[in-house]
Amino acid sequence: VSARAGIVVTGTEVLTGVITDRNGPWLGGQLSAMGVEVAQISVVGDHPEDIRKALGWLRDEGVDLIVTSGGLGPTEDDLTVAVVAEFQGLELELDDALGKRVGKILDGVSKRWKGIDPEALERSRIKQSTIPAGAAILEPVGTAPGVVVDPLSGDGPTVVVLPGPPRELQPMWEAAVESGVFSGAIAGRVQRERRIVRMYGLPESEVAATIIAARDSGISVDELEITTCLRSGEVEIDTRFEPELTGVYDAFAEVVRERHGKQVFSEDGSTTDEIVARLLLERNMTVAVAESFTGGLMAARLTDMPGSSDTFAGGVVAYTADAKVSMVGVDRAVIEEHGVVSVEVAEALARGAAERFGAQAGIGLTGEAGPESASGRPVGTVCIAVVVNGVVSSSENTLRGQRADVRERGPVNAMHALRRALQSSA
C-alpha cells in the first residue's frame, strides 16, 4: 500500500474567504507525484485547539505524514510550531545557533524598512528560533524556519511544518523532502502510475458513458482509480493505478481514443498552453493578440510560461472602438457595419495584431462579458478569430456564467482555436 499523508492549512483569512489557499493543492500535487496518497486537506482557523483537532483526526486516520502550512509569522496568532511540539510530546526550546541565523535575516529586514521597532524585531527573532526539541530545521527562505518533527513516542505521523507564503513554502518543501526524517516517514510508499487524458469539445456525460462502455466490454475499469473533471470546457480523465494494472489502463485508454479521438488533445500530461508553445516553437512562429472583453487575460496566459518571450510578440488590450482602429488598424467601417462584437471585428483584430507586432500568428477576441451589455449583444457572446500565416478562422459562441467566467473562458477557447490552426498548418 502507498504511504498516506494529510495536509493542514492554517489561517482564519483562508477559512473566511479573504484569501484563496494555494498551498493545499500545491502540496497535494507534490505528494501525489511522489506516489503518496493524500487523505485530506483541512483548512482551519488560527486557533490552537482547531489545529490540534485537525492533527488528531489525521493521526486517528493512520496517516504516515502530516504537512502544515502557515502560522509561523511574528504575530501572536501564529501558533503552529507550539501546537505541533505539544502534539508530538516535545518541549519548545530556543535554538541559539538558529537564533543567530534568523537574527542576520532580520538585520536585513530592518535595513529595508525605515523606523522599524527593534523590540518587535527581537521578539520575532526569539519566537521564530524557538522550536520543538530535536526537530530537524528547514532553513528560512523568508524570516521563519520550518521544522520536521517526529513524535517523541515513536508512534504516529511525522509532521512537516512549513510557512504560509507560497514562495517560502515551495523551496522549503524541497528541503523537507530531502531530510532523513521525511524519507523515514514515507518509507513504505509505492510509486503508483498516473495518466491524464485531456479532451476539448464534449460534455462530461459522454465520458461517463465511455467508462460504462469500457466496463461492459469486459475491461476491469473498477480496478483503476478514475476521476473525471470538467473545467473551463476541458474534460480531463485522471487515472491512478498500481503498476501491474498498466494493461487494464491501456485497454481503457484505447476505448477513450476510439470514442473521442477527435476531442483528445493530450495524453502525456501536457496542458493546452504547453502544446501551443511547442507548436509555435516547432514552426518558428510568434503570436500576437488583440483583445477586448478578456482585458489582458489572453496575453497574460500566453506569457505565463517561462520562455514565452520566444513565442509571444505582443498584445493590445483594445477596450474601445477608437483603440481598435488606432492601435490595431481595424477598419472603422467594419465596426459600424457588423458591430463591435462580431466575427468580422475579431478577424480584423487577429490580422491587425499579427501585422502590428510582426507575428506569423494572431488572435482576436471581442465579446460581451457583462454584467450589463454595452454592445447590444447578449452577455456571454464571444467572437474569437485566429490567423496563422494569413489563413483566418473564426467562431461566435455564447458562454454561460458570470463576468469572471466569461473572461476566463474566452482565452481557453482561443487557445484551442490556435492549437487547431497550428496543427492544421503543419
Give yes or no for a contact between 72 and 144, defined as CB atoms under 8 angstroms apart. Answer: yes
Using CB under 8 A as the binding rule, whether residue 281 contacts its own copies is answered as no
What phi, psi does 111 have (nearest 5°)? -75, -35
Buried b (16+ CB within 10 A) or exposed e, 392-406: bbbebeebeeeeeeb
Using CB under 8 A as the binding rule, whether residue 153 contacts its own copies is answered as no
Interface positions, 165-204, toward its own copies (CB under 8 A): 165-167, 170, 196, 202-204
The C-alpha angle 379, 383, 384, rounded to 5 degrees, equals: 140
DSSP helix/strand/coil, 242: coil
Least distance in Å: CB of 85 to its own copies? Answer: 20
Among 135, 197, 275, 299, contact with its own copies (rule: CB under 8 A):
299
Among 154, 218, 243, 306, contact with its own copies (rule: CB under 8 A):
306
Name the DSSP class of 284.
T
Q: How many C-beta atoms lie closer than 10 Å to residue 180's C-beta? A: 9
Comparing CB distances to its own copies, the nearer of 184 and 332 is: 332
Site map 215..234 versus its own copies, x via CB under 8 A: ----------xxxxxxx---
* 365 Cβ contact list (under 8 Å, min separation 6): 289, 290, 291, 292, 293, 294, 298, 346, 349, 382, 383, 384, 385, 410, 411, 414
Site map 70..109 versus its own copies, x via CB under 8 A: ---xxxxx-------------------------------x
d(CA 138, CA 364): 48
d(CA 157, CA 40): 14
Least distance in Å: CB of 208 to its own copies? Answer: 4
Comparing CB distances to its own copies, the nearer of 88 and 143 is: 143
Using CB under 8 A as the binding rule, whether residue 130 contacts its own copies is answered as no
Total residues contacting its own copies by CB under 8 A comes to 114
Comparing CB distances to its own copies, the nearer of 301 and 416 is: 301
Using CB under 8 A as the binding rule, whether residue 326 contacts its own copies is answered as yes
Using CB under 8 A as the binding rule, whether residue 393 contacts its own copies is answered as no
Interface positions, 36-65, toward its own copies (CB under 8 A): 38-46, 50, 53-54, 57, 61
DSSP helix/strand/coil, 193: strand
Q: How many C-beta atoms lie closer than 10 Å to residue 254's C-beta? A: 12
Using CB under 8 A as the binding rule, whether residue 28 contacts its own copies is answered as yes
Using CB under 8 A as the binding rule, whether residue 320 contacts its own copies is answered as yes
Least distance in Å: CB of 111 to its own copies? Answer: 12
